[in-house]
């Protein structure tokens, strides 16, 4: 069965600095990987996905993520953080057979001004 690990409960960065939110996964076969963001009292919003192709994928709001098959990782990155990026971020995975989307426990990103 597939699983996702987000090793950091919280990531703190200063505005303007680069940010990284880590995610590792376990899945049979090739993974389908996703990042979602959740703001307080809001639903989950899709940010970006990796299905196949280029290991660096770009998504909404200037976020990007790098797929690394050998390290089974899919870290979320942004070159310059904004205070408005402060939110809860979730990594998710499904396998090639298209089974259920499984989420990590989430990482709280806090960007200080």
Partner 1 sequence: DTGVSQNPRHKITKRGQNVTFRCDPISEHNRLYWYRQTLGQGPEFLTYFQNEAQLEKSRLLSDRFSAERPKGSFSTLEIQRTEQGDSAMYLCASSLILTEAFFGQGTRLTVV
Least separation in angstroms between CB 16 and partner 1? 27
Task: Return d(Cα 109, Cα 8) in angstroms, integer.
Answer: 10
* Tokens describing residue 23: 């995610």
Least separation in angstroms between CB 49 and partner 1? 5
Question: How many residues interact with partner 1 (rule CB under 8 A)?
Answer: 23
Say if strands 32-38 and 10-14 run parallel, antiparallel, or are unpaired.
Answer: unpaired
Q: Considering only residues 53-92, where is the footprint of partner 1 by CB under 8 A?
A: 88, 90
Least separation in angstroms between CB 83 and partner 1? 21
Stretch in the footprint of partner 1 (CB under 8 A) among 14-22, 34-42, 63-71, 74-82: 34-42
Task: Return d(Cα 68, Cα 70) in angstroms, integer.
Answer: 6
Q: Which of 14, 56, 83, 101 binds partner 1 (CB under 8 A)?
A: 101
Angle at the Cα of 94 (from 52 to 1), degrees rounded to 5? 130
């Amino acid at each position: 069965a597939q699983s996702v690990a987000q090793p950091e409960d919280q990531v703190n960065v200063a505005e303007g600095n680069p940010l990284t939110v880590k995610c590792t996964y376990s899945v049979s076969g090739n993974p389908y990987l996703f990042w979602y963001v959740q703001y307080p009292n809001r639903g989950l919003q899709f940010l970006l996905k990796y299905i196949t192709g280029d290991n660096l994928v770009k998504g909404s709001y200037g976020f990007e993520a790098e797929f690394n098959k050998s390290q089974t990782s899919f870290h979320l990155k942004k070159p310059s953080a904004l205070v408005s990026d402060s939110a809860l971020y979730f990594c998710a995975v499904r396998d090639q057979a298209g089974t259920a989307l499984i989420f990590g426990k989430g990482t709280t990103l806090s960007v200080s001004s």
